[in-house]
Amino acid sequence: MAVHPDDKTLLLEFANPATRESAYTRIVRKYQERIYWHIRRMVVHHEDTNDVMQNVFIKMWKHLDGFREDSQLFTWIYRIATNESLSYLEKNKKRNSQSASLDNEHSNLSNTIRAEKHFDASKLEWKLQLAIQQLPEKQRVVFSLRYYEEMPYEAMSKILETSEGALKASYHHAVKKVEEYILNH
């Protein structure tokens, strides 16, 4: 596993014009996989994930100068990634409704999962993926951060700008819905 410099060092290097680009690349390398999977679980398709990834890191490049160090860098990047993913899904939803598609967004994403190379409907891990797509988008984010990334509610609260209590309730609802889906399919 690659060892990455701490965020404070990277931010100092980014502030220096001579090391700005290399610091940026290091930040991308440090966070790209986590951010990728966070987005991919939301938008499912790799190409869409790649589009959102680019938007996230281009925004980071543009706004990192204004980043306030009273919050953590990873919180800030996750917040951008979450907002970009939700906004991407929202745009897709509008596009689909304009094109008079009969499929709704959930079934589109489920179909994308079913089209995955190693998809096996009998396997629980794939059922779990399908179950997650049935969740409302914000619940999906909460479930993903807690279940997959094992993120403490405190960090999630900073990313999603929601109280810890509300996040706990949201996660509990999400887990119950996912469990129910798996039991019935």
Binding site for other proteins (CB under 8 A): 1-2, 21-22, 24-26, 28-29, 32-34, 36-37, 40, 44, 46, 50, 53-54, 57-58, 61, 74, 116-118, 124-126, 128-129, 146-152, 155, 172, 175-176, 178-179, 182-183
Six token digits for residue 153: 């509610």
The least CB distance from residue 99 to other proteins, in Å, is 26
Rg of the chain over all Cα atoms, to the nearest angstrom: 18
Query: Distance between CA atoms of 18 and 182, rounded to whole angstroms?
Result: 53
**CB contact at 8 A, 96 and 108:** yes
| Nearest to other proteins of 67, 126 (CB atom) | 126
Phi, psi (degrees; rounded to nearest 5) at 106: -60, -45
| Nearest to other proteins of 74, 88 (CB atom) | 74
Phi, psi (degrees; rounded to nearest 5) at 3: -95, 125
The least CB distance from residue 163 to other proteins, in Å, is 17
Closest CA to 129 of 116, 138, 142: 116
| Nearest to other proteins of 11, 175 (CB atom) | 175
The least CB distance from residue 137 to other proteins, in Å, is 18
The least CB distance from residue 69 to other proteins, in Å, is 19
The least CB distance from residue 21 to other proteins, in Å, is 6
The least CB distance from residue 98 to other proteins, in Å, is 28
Query: Coil, strand or helix: which one is 115?
Result: coil
| Nearest to other proteins of 53, 105 (CB atom) | 53
Write the CB contacts of 163 (distance below 8 Å, at least 6 apart in sequence). 157
| Nearest to other proteins of 17, 100 (CB atom) | 17
| Nearest to other proteins of 2, 102 (CB atom) | 2
**CB contact at 8 A, 134 and 181:** yes
Question: Which residue in the block uniquely carries the two structure tokens 């993926």?
Answer: 129
